[in-house]
A = this chain, B = another copy of it.
């Protein structure tokens, strides 16, 4: 069966997020001043062919560890959509 998995990869909370800071500056230039913080990460959706939801989730976890997220700078969260 095919499972849809969402992975959210975000910069660690303690680290500066320069891309987010740049976007916050852009919002202020557009007159949107009430945004206090912006953080930007990646949103990844995978379609995984697996025997069970647990197997699909385990595979997504392996993919995140090996390729999608850099644990030195990022954390990830996996969510099943089905």
Contact = CB atoms under 8 A, between A and B. Distances in A.
Contact size class for A?
A: 20 to 34
A67 interface: yes
Interface in A31-61: 32, 34-50, 59
Contact of A42 (B37, B41, B48): B41
How many copies, total? 2
A61 B36 CA distance: 16
A27 interface: yes
Interface of A: 2, 8-10, 20, 23, 26-27, 30, 32, 34-50, 59, 62-63, 66-68
B40 A43 contact: yes
Contacts of A36: 2, 47-49
